[in-house]
């Protein structure tokens, strides 16, 4: 949507250095931007690209403004500001209200008149679909589910049953909410399935990436609080509680009954074993997993970066000899 820099600066509280009448119609990277593009500079590693940019305007910090050859929108947090402005310049599509002819709707369900129900959607008994909800093609909403206003389900999202979702959520293709947790009891005759009788409770402004899963609780609910961000291929097991504004990158996995605080971050393939508690403001590094309670905010990690196989084989051989070395040192100390 075309918008002037003057309007952007006023609406979002930025300092504009340049022509307020310049109009932007899209967004692009520093190196690919043209005279109609809005871009940003947040990471100093991209600073060498700034002098050559052809953008209409660059969102950047005050200290970088002198090097900018084009219009500049100056603020303290360029990346967050870019996110807000990009949503304004490139707004989400508007979906018309109505129910597609191929949708299957249970008579006992309740669907707001402003909701968009796409092709081949199934809405189960007693399900409630709020105002301005968008259910894309192939979505399934099972019995006794409640979807808050303004939430969007892009395509082929499965909401099994007893799932409550707040307002303005965004759920990408292949997400599964409310499937059974992995509950099994071992007996001499084999495994006995433990009934998964809880639900899932998801707060406002939550985004869950493609092919991620949130299991229903065994007893009680699995809880995802407000503002949580889950990347693609994230696994949340039964009765996990994820605090507000926590984020998890791709392939993170959280085992059952773990409690995670607010504003935590899990890098790619990060995780936690079951029944541990992690306090607020904890960062878990890539390929690291938490095995005991974390009571102090900070960054935690333990993993081996890739290296050439010969070197790694030597290190593995040394690891295997550590037990013998420990015994020898213990004897010498005596």
Q: Quick count: other Cβ atoms within 10 Å of Cβ 319?
A: 9
How does strand 247-248 pair with strand 176-179?
Answer: unpaired
Q: Quick count: other Cβ atoms within 10 Å of Cβ 185?
A: 8
Nearest-angstrom CA–CA distance, 265 and 247: 5
Catalytic residue among 238, 241, 245, 275: 238
Structure tokens at 152: 């969007």
Q: Which helix (H) or strand (E) holds 283?
A: strand 282-284
Q: Which helix (H) or strand (E) holds 223?
A: strand 222-224
Q: Quick count: other Cβ atoms within 10 Å of Cβ 16?
A: 18
Nearest-angstrom CA–CA distance, 279 and 83: 28
Q: Quick count: other Cβ atoms within 10 Å of Cβ 167?
A: 18
Q: Which residues pair with 26 in a beta bridge?
A: 37
Nearest residue to 136 (alpha-carbon basis) of 118, 158, 123: 118
Sequence-separated (6 or more) residues with CB below 8 Å from residue 326: none
- Taking the CA of residue 91 as centre, how many other CA atoms within 13 Å lie in the half-sphere pointing to its CB? 7
- Owner of token pair 């005279």: 35
Give yes or no for a contact between 231 and 210, defined as CB atoms under 8 angstroms apart. Answer: no
Q: Is 275 a known active-site residue?
A: no
Active site residues: 238
């Amino acid at each position: 949507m075309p918008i002037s820099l003057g309007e952007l600066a006023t609406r979002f509280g930025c300092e504009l250095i340049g022509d307020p009448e310049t109009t932007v119609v899209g967004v692009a990277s520093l190196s690919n931007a043209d005279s109609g593009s809005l871009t940003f500079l947040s990471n100093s590693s991209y600073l060498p690209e700034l002098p050559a940019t052809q953008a209409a305007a660059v969102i950047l910090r005050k200290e970088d403004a002198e090097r900018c050859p084009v219009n500049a929108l100056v603020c303290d947090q360029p990346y967050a500001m870019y996110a807000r402005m990009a949503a304004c310049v490139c707004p989400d599509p508007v979906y018309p209200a109505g129910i597609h002819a191929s949708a299957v709707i249970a008579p006992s369900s309740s669907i707001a008149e402003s909701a968009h129900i796409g092709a081949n959607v199934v809405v189960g008994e007693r399900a409630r679909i709020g105002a301005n909800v968008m259910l894309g093609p192939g979505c399934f909403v099972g019995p006794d589910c409640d979807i808050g206003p303004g939430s969007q389900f892009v395509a082929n999202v499965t909401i099994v049953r007893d799932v409550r979702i707040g307002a303005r959520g965004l759920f990408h293709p292949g997400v599964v909410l409310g499937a059974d947790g992995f509950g099994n009891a071992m007996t001499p005759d084999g495994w006995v399935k433990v009934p998964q009788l809880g639900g899932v409770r998801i707060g406002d402004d939550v985004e869950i990436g493609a092919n991620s899963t949130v299991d229903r609780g065994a007893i009680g609910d699995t809880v995802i609080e407000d503002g949580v961000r889950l990347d693609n291929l994230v696994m949340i097991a039964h009765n996990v509680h994820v605090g507000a504004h926590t984020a998890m990158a791709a392939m993170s996995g959280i085992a059952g009954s773990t409690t995670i605080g607010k504003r935590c971050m899990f890098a790619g393939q990060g995780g936690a074993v079951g029944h541990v508690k992690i306090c607020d403001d904890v960062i878990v590094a890539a390929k690291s997993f938490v095995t005991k309670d974390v009571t102090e905010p900070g960054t935690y990690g333990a993993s081996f970066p890739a290296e050439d196989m010969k070197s790694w084989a030597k290190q593995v051989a040394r690891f295997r000899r550590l037990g013998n070395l420990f015994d020898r040192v213990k004897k010498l100390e005596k």
